[in-house]
Structure 1
Amino acid sequence: MDTNEFRPQSEEIPGQQLPYPAKQSDMDPAPDSNLSNYKPAGKLTDKVAIITGADSGIGRAVAIAFAMEGADVAILYNENTDDANTTRKMVESKGRKCLVIQADVRDSAACRDAIKQTVDAYGKLNILVNNAAYQMAQEKLEDISDEQFRRTFETNIFGYFFMAKAALPHLQAGDAIINTGSIVGIVGNPILVDYTATKGAIHAFTKSLAIQLGERNIRVNCVAPGPVWTPNIPATMPEDEVKNFGHEVALARPGQPEELAPAYVLLASSDGSFITGSIVEVTGGKLG
């Protein structure tokens, strides 16, 4: 796509379901996450970032964008080793280092170890991106099992808390924490009741932690995506929801992972020096 032109409405997304956790390479069409049209400006030169859920989707795009801006990164993933290795190669192709860590963010000890590995490898830590997430659509509240409820909360909010707590001793004035929320945490979604609750919790966590860390000049913000074409969609949503996914927004198409990455760059860099406690909506016009 010519960078001087707007991104056109995407091709129709066919109905599909993939086993959880889905591989990005199995999706039809493949998500855009390589930032081939992104113009870096050295905004994160020699910074170190750790990104959870970075084997694919938004996390992969953020890792690539950070590398293009001059940062070395550590990426956390839970299950898809092939996807994680693809992300590593894409980051390294930008001339930066990429540490790959397999870890379950539901485990506080695993989160502490991931931070330790990152600091041991790079000597410091400047940016934490909490992005790992779990969802599974259910038509009725009664269909949400106790196991699913616990997994959703433990991944989506416990993991964010554990990672932030482990990272804080290493963060200095000017550093940043960026959480991934969701528009559904603001407007709700009837088939993702437990997931929307965790995203609302992430938004509140972001605001409270931003107030607490303001005196240390550590900024805490949240990106709230709208419908974005990532592996979680065909792996967790009913086929009729996947078909033409995202076309209900004002721009009449789903977002692509690479369209979210610049928001994370803004919040991680000095360009966002007066932004904290914010929920930055990148939704394509998903307002309700």
Structure 2
Amino acid sequence: MYPMVPYYGRKKVYREIPLTFPPQQQNRQPGLESLMVPRPISDNPSYSGSGKLRGQVAIITGGDSGIGRAVAIAFAKEGADLVIVYLNEHADAKDTQSRVEYYGARCLLISGDLREESFSREVVDQTLRKFGRIHILVNNHAIQFYQKSILDISAEQLDHTFRTNVYAFFYLTKAVLPYLSPGSSIIQTTSAVAYEGHEALLDYSATKGAILSFTRALSQSLLNRGIRVNGVAPGPIWTPLIPSSFPPEDVSTFGVDSPMKHAGQPFELAPAYVYLACDDSKYVSGQVLHVNGGEMVSS
């Protein structure tokens, strides 16, 4: 076993949060949450919601697992209906759908490759056919490849990383934008590495810096339409991206060098997305919330 710390809910311990993880690796991107040991914690039982997103429709990319799943669950508790966009992790997506529907929300699953601009248009078409409207877009999906030197990053890898992490954000934003109205919200997942870098994630870090700049520029572009654009910059969070990209020995110590000495869990980010999606943040645009275990960053 590995050391644990308790996660306290309203009156009792619901589940323990691991401080470290067993060495493990998945030989595919994106990874599968169903194969992770232990499974990430996506649902905070002490978070009940208060209808802050009642009647709204949210599209979340990468919503099948990890941070996206946690955000989908929190949005469902707040009354939103969900569209979960993912590549091919069908079992994970079904699990997310069942959790969202448990809390009374409707959930549409859409599988496909967001690197293709035409698929973003299909996502919007299916969403409008199902729900008739769109209020919130969460651009959240990503891939990363661990390479110790820039000399090991092929042109194919560079193109794959940027098309997945950056181009797709542009494509889906373009497709959704005509259907957003004043008060709508776009939220983009960047990363702590956009600010501090990572020596073995050079192309991934570059994409997260691009997302940061895209978020700030887009917020200025859409102010006159009353559409807010913000971001969340996670630190080390236990998601399928970790065992599917890092060597097993790095997985076993993932997050221990953060100020809080352990990785975060997906549910710990979800309230930041709820805040940025709802009217609580109606005077906030072009900003990034840092959920990173206490790391100090300069913007």
Q: TM-score, normalised by structure 1?
A: 0.97
For 2:224, what is the secondary structure of its paired residue?
helix
Q: Give how far 1:195 is off.
A: 0.2
Q: What's the counterpart of residue 27 of structure 2?
A: 19
Map of 1:148 onto structure 2: 157
RMSD: 1.5
Question: Which of 3, 8, 15 is the matching residue for 2:9?
Answer: 3
Letter in 1 for 2:55: D
| Residue 223 (structure 1) aligns with | 232
Q: What 5-or-longer segments of structure 1 have no aligned partner?
A: none
Give the conservation status (yes or no) of the 8 Å contact 1:182–1:199: yes
Query: Which of 111, 135, 158 lines up with 1:102 in the alignment?
Result: 111
- Compute the TM-score of the two structures, normalised by the length of structure 2: 0.93
Aligned mates of 1:265, 1:241 — CA distance in 2: 31
Tell me, in whole angstroms, the C-alpha distance in 1 between the residues paired with 2:32 and 2:167. Answer: 25
Q: Distance in 2 between matches of 1:121 and 1:35?
A: 28
Partner of 2:192: 183
How is 1:125-144 mapped onto 2 (pairs within 5 angstroms)? Answer: 125-144=134-153
**CA apart distance, 1:2:** 2.7
Aligned structure 1 segments of 4 or more residues deviating by more than 6 angstroms:
5-9
| Residue 3 (structure 2) aligns with | none
Aligned equivalents of 2:247, 2:36: Cα separation in 1: 15
In 2, the alpha carbon distance for the partners of 1:76 and 1:87 equals 11
Q: CA deviation at 1:221?
A: 0.3
Q: How far apart in 1 are the matches of 2:237 and 2:157?
A: 22
Q: How far did 1:204 drift?
A: 0.2
CA distance in 1, matches of 2:92, 2:190: 22
Counterparts of 1:197 and 1:167, CA distance in 2: 25
Q: Residue 265 of structure 1 corresponds to which residue in structure 2?
A: 274
**How far apart are 1:37 and its partner, in Å?**
2.2
Q: Contact 2:19–2:256 (CA<8 Å) still a contact in 1?
A: no
Equivalent-residue separation in structure 2 for 1:190 and 1:144 (angstroms): 13
Contact 1:9 1:251 in 2 (8 A): no
Residue in structure 2 matching 1:83, options 75, 79, 92: 92
Whether contact under 8 Å (2:44, 2:267) holds in the other structure is yes
Unaligned runs of 5+ in 2: 1-6
Counterpart amino acid of residue 14 in structure 1: P
In structure 2, the CA distance between the partners of 1:127 and 1:270, relative to structure 1 (3 Å rule), is: same
Of 270, 282, 286, 1:277 maps to 286
Aligned partners of 2:186 and 2:264: how far apart in 1? 23
Residue of structure 2 aligned with 1:242, choices 232, 251, 254: 251
Query: What letter is aligned with 2:137?
Result: L
Count the aligned residue pairs. 288
- In structure 1, what is the equivalent of residue 60 of structure 2? 51
User: For residues 222-243 of structure 1, what are the alpha-carbon distances to aligned partners after superposition, in whole Å with 9 as ceiling and x for unaligned?
Assistant: 0000000000100111122111
Alpha-carbon separation, structure 1, partners of 2:36 and 2:238: 9
Aligned residue among 18, 24, 39 for 1:30: 39
SS of 1:233's partner is coil
- Report the identity percentage: 46
CA contact (8 A) 1:248 1:286 kept: no
1: CA distance, partners of 2:177 / 2:20: 43
SS in 2 for 1:149: helix
